[in-house]
Structure formats: structure tokens, C-alpha cells
Chains A and B, each alone.
Chain A
Amino acid sequence: MARRVPAVVPLGRDAPSRFLPWIFALMVYLAVLALTGVLILHAAVERWQRGEVDTLTVQLMPLDGESEAARLVKLQDLLGEVEGVSDVHVVAQSETIDLIERWLGAGNVPADLPLPRLIDVAIAPGFGLDAESLAFRLQASMPGVSVDDAKLWLDRLADLGRSLELLAIAVVVLIGLAAVATVIFTTRMGISIHRNVIELLHLIGARDSYVAAQFQRQAMLLGLRGGVLGIVFAVATLYGLRHVAGRLETPLAPDIPVAHWAWGLLVAVPVATALIAMVTARLTALRELAKMP
């Protein structure tokens, strides 16, 4: 008795119904990747921007005929007197060589290469101390000193990040529009393929809303199926990326968060595709049916 009522319009068997889920899967896949990109960039840009940079790097260039050790001590003393400097850490020369070896390769740093000494300086907030003012203070009493500021560089990075963010949002919107266009197209196709079934339904008194409901339900199912398929592939890809990113230990590289919002996205995307497909199919079907005699 509880036999399933079969679809009145045999939409499940036509070509559009077979290819629609795959188109949707592809769109959802691309949209989720783009969306993830947006979220990651957004978090990173915020972090980069928050920088009120709290560390500066002071470089002490070697000067002929002067003892590095003595200059280093003097520089530390000077730094100790500057208001706003909360901590001073002299980077060991071996660490500096390590850094350079990353570029030149291990063992390729000539022993006689004149290397600067690097001193990390932690800045306490509230003193308005930046690279420029610190350099001004130090250079007065010590030649061969320069101060590096990561801020300018981070600002440019943040600008780039924001542009990429907008681009990714545009991509998501375009994918959404493409999805809507696809549903409009397949619904029209379905109506013309099943024209005689629809004519019969009209003859036995089916209202347009009843016929449209057939297309609407089918589009929703296909949208849901495609959405789930797409999100499965997307999540697999993201986990893969995260794994790769996890092996590269750069503090500036943003992590790919797979936390709470990711679960929200997981549910929201197929539901959104299903809804978009459903509403689009309904409106398209109603408009097309109204043209029939």
C-alpha cells in the first residue's frame, strides 16, 4: 500500500537530468574552493593588518677595522636606553648562516662573506616606536646600523590579499549565475522534451503549479545530489592542501582552518544549491507553462 508514487513527468530519464548533477558537482567544487580561499585570505589579511608590528629587526653591518663584539655590546646598550624597546635578542651567527643557506644551499656560504649581525627587538605598544624612529635614534651614535620593518611589506601583502578576496568572491558569484543559467536551460529543455505529457496533464486539469512542482522537485533533488558530490570532492581537496601546508612551516602562511565554519559550509552549500535549483526551476517552469495554450 505504501508504494512510492512514481514521477508524473519522467524527468529522471532524460539527458538534462543525467548531466545536471555533474555540472552542479563541478560548480560546487569550484565555489567551495573559491569560498575557502576567501575565508583563508580574509583571516590572513586581518592578521597581517592587525600588525602594529611588534618586532623590528636591527642589522649591524660589519665595518672594517672595528671589533664586531664591541659594537654589538654598544648597540645592545643603546637599545636598552630606547623607550619602548621591551626585549633585545641577538640572533646567533649560526642562525643567520642557516637563513642564508636556505637560499644558497648548505655549505655554499663562503666563510669570508661579510654577514650582518641580526638583532630582534621586541617593541612595547604605546610608545609610537617604528623602524624609522628607531633607525634615527641608533644611527646618530652608531654607523652601519639599519632597521627592517615588516610592516610595509605586510601592508602590500594585505592589499594583494584583499584583491584576491574580491576576485574569489566574484568567482563564486559567477558560478552561482552559471548554476542558475544551467537550471533555466535544463528546465526549458525538460518542458520541451516532455511536452505531450504536460499537455495531457493540462487536459486532465492539472494547474501550472502542479506541473511546475514536478520540475521543482526534480531540480531540488539533482541540486542536492550535485551539491553533496561537489562538497565531498572539495573537502577531500582541502584536506589534501592542508596536509601539504602543514609540512611547510612558515609563520606567515595562513592555516587552512577546517573548524566550525567548515562544517557549516559542508551543510550550507548543498542546501543552497538545492534551493537555488528549486526556485529557479519553479520560476522557469511557471513562465514557460504560461506560454502553452
Chain B
Amino acid sequence: MVRFENVGMRYGMGPEVLHDVTFEINAGEFRYLVGPSGAGKTSLLRLMYLAHRPSRGLISMFGADVMLARRQELMDLRRGIGVVFQDYRLLAHLSALDNVALPLRVAGAKESQVQEHVSELLAWVGLADHIHALPESLSGGQKQRVAIARAVITRPRLLLADEPTGNLDEALGQRLLRLFEELNRIGTTVVIATHNQNMVARNPHPVMTLGSGELRVDPPIGKAS
């Protein structure tokens, strides 16, 4: 489903922040991406959600070579990917409901189904009372939950979450991890970037570790903590 071969990445003319990254993720897997701050977790996810092209190497998503894909094909690939951005990226002028509804509307879903689906999911993540709230009136943790709801609302084939529980307390973090695992059970491939060692320990899944731009795949789970 996701295949990287000797991938290098740099921002503009800057230094390479990822070197020779090679790995493969199969459909239905659940993986953590761990590493210290600045190791390149966000950068690696950016490559996977096609916000950035690699400076070298080969990336194949859903079987399509990203380097060869045309602009509009990238858009189509992206609709199969749900992303929880580290900085949420909610649209400030839209309510929680409309933010979460966005991927459905972009994909051309029927409006009659949109409202119901979205309200249900928002209630599930504990935001039933904030459905019509604008992001500016939400706390960090509430915004994070809106961002998570938006990422999963379309039941994407691939879910990429960048520190998705960073602003949540332990209990809520666990609850949302259950959501990811539930999605994974019904077929979504999940990659979660995190530096929360507790979460990794309590909910064991294969780990990819990034250290200064280099990737080690699947070390024994105990060693990550």
C-alpha cells in the first residue's frame, strides 16, 4: 500500500532531512512512527500524504508512482488518505461540524447524509455540545478531536496521524486510540507519529523509529521505550 525506496527529502534548497528511507506498509497494518522531536516524523508523513515530493528515491502510494502522478491524480490519491495534522489545520471560519464535513463535501457526498454522519462522529469524540462552535472557541484538546474526526469521517484507506493525542489527557487519548484501532479493524491502514511512549507501551503495534533522518523499521517493541 505504501512503499518507500531510498527516499531523500529536503525543504527547498536546505539540507536533506530524510536520507535513504526504505520501508513498506501493507494494507491493514497499524504502525507507530516514533523518534525525538526534529527527527523527521512530520516530514515523512508529509511525503505520505503527498504534500511534498521527495528529492530522490521512489514512493509508491496505493500502487501509483508518486513521481509520475499528475496533479489531479495526486488529488484523487489524497481523497483516500485521512490526515490528522500536528497543528490541526482547522478552517477558522467553519464550525466544528463544517470542518469535519469538509472531506465528505469535497468528495461530493449527499448533504442529507453529511449532517447526520458528522454529528454522530462529533458526539462520539465527546463534542456533542460543540457541534456549531468555531475553532477559536475550542480548547487545544477539543480542536485536536475535531481534526481527528475530520481525518476519519470518510473512512479513508490510509490514516496518517501526527501526534494526534499530544493535547489530550490519558483517558481521552486511550479512547481515540480505540477509534483508530476500530477503524483499523474494518480495513483502514493506520500510521501514528508519536513521542508518547506510554501509548506505545499500552497499545502495542509495530514501530518504525526515526533518528536524525534515518529510519529503522520494526525494532522489538520494548526497545522503543
- Within 8 Å of chain B (Cβ to Cβ): is A202? yes
- Within 8 Å of chain A (Cβ to Cβ): is B107? yes
Which residues of B have CB within 8 Å of A1? 112, 115
One of B98-106, B170-178, B186-194, B205-213 at the interface: B98-106
Contact A210/B78 with A5-B111, A10-B93 known, Cβ cut-off 8 Å: no
Which residues of A have CB within 8 Å of B197? none
Tell whether, in the assembled complex, residue B78 and residue A6 are in contact, meaning their CB atoms are under 8 Å apart. Answer: no
Question: Which residues of A1-55 are within 8 A (CB) of B?
Answer: 1, 3, 5-6, 8, 10, 13
**Interface-central residue, B53, B105, B150, by most chain A CB under 10 Å:** B105
Tell whether, in the assembled complex, residue A207 and residue B93 are in contact, meaning their CB atoms are under 8 Å apart. Answer: no
Contact A208/B76 with A200-B89, A203-B83 known, Cβ cut-off 8 Å: no
Question: Which residues of B109-133 are within 8 A (CB) of A?
Answer: 111-112, 115
Which residues of A have CB within 8 Å of B69? none
B115: which of A3, A203, A207 is its contact (CB, 8 Å)? A3
Tell whether, in the assembled complex, residue A206 and residue B91 are in contact, meaning their CB atoms are under 8 Å apart. Answer: no
- Within 8 Å of chain B (Cβ to Cβ): is A290? yes
A-B contacts, 21 listed (Cβ < 8 Å): A1-B115, A5-B105, A5-B111, A6-B94, A8-B105, A10-B91, A10-B93, A13-B93, A200-B89, A200-B91, A201-B106, A203-B51, A204-B78, A204-B102, A204-B103, A204-B106, A205-B75, A205-B77, A205-B78, A206-B106, A293-B53
- Interface size for chain A: under 10, 10 to 19, 20 to 34, or 35 or more residues? 20 to 34
5 pairs of A and B residues whose beta carbons are closest in the complex: A205-B79, A205-B78, A10-B93, A206-B106, A204-B103
- Within 8 Å of chain B (Cβ to Cβ): is A197? yes
Which residues of A have CB within 8 Å of B91? 8, 10, 197, 200
**Interface-central residue, A5, A200, A204, by most chain B CB under 10 Å:** A204
Closest A residue to B101 by beta carbon equals A5
Which residues of B have CB within 8 Å of A10? 91, 93
**Interface-central residue, A10, A203, A206, by most chain B CB under 10 Å:** A203
Tell whether, in the assembled complex, residue B78 and residue A202 are in contact, meaning their CB atoms are under 8 Å apart. Answer: yes
Q: How far is the CB of B204 from chain A (nearest CB, A)?
A: 30
Tell whether, in the assembled complex, residue B78 and residue A203 are in contact, meaning their CB atoms are under 8 Å apart. Answer: yes
Tell whether, in the assembled complex, residue A6 and residue B115 are in contact, meaning their CB atoms are under 8 Å apart. Answer: no
Tell whether, in the assembled complex, residue B115 and residue A205 are in contact, meaning their CB atoms are under 8 Å apart. Answer: no
CA distance A285 to B37 in the complex (A): 38
Which residues of A have CB within 8 Å of B105? 5, 8
- Within 8 Å of chain A (Cβ to Cβ): is B72? yes
Which residues of B have CB within 8 Å of A208? 71-72, 75
- Within 8 Å of chain A (Cβ to Cβ): is B180? no
Q: How far is the CB of A201 from chain B (nearest CB, A)?
A: 7
- Within 8 Å of chain A (Cβ to Cβ): is B30? no
Contact A6/B72 with A203-B49, A205-B103 known, Cβ cut-off 8 Å: no
CA distance A1 to B115 in the complex (A): 7
CA distance A206 to B112 in the complex (A): 20
1/0 per position for A216-248, CB-CB distance to B under 8 A? 000000000000000000000000000000000
CA distance A84 to B93 in the complex (A): 82
Given contacts A204-B79, A206-B75, 8 further A-B contacts (CB under 8 A): A1-B112, A1-B115, A3-B115, A13-B93, A204-B83, A205-B76, A205-B77, A208-B75
Tell whether, in the assembled complex, residue B75 and residue A207 are in contact, meaning their CB atoms are under 8 Å apart. Answer: yes
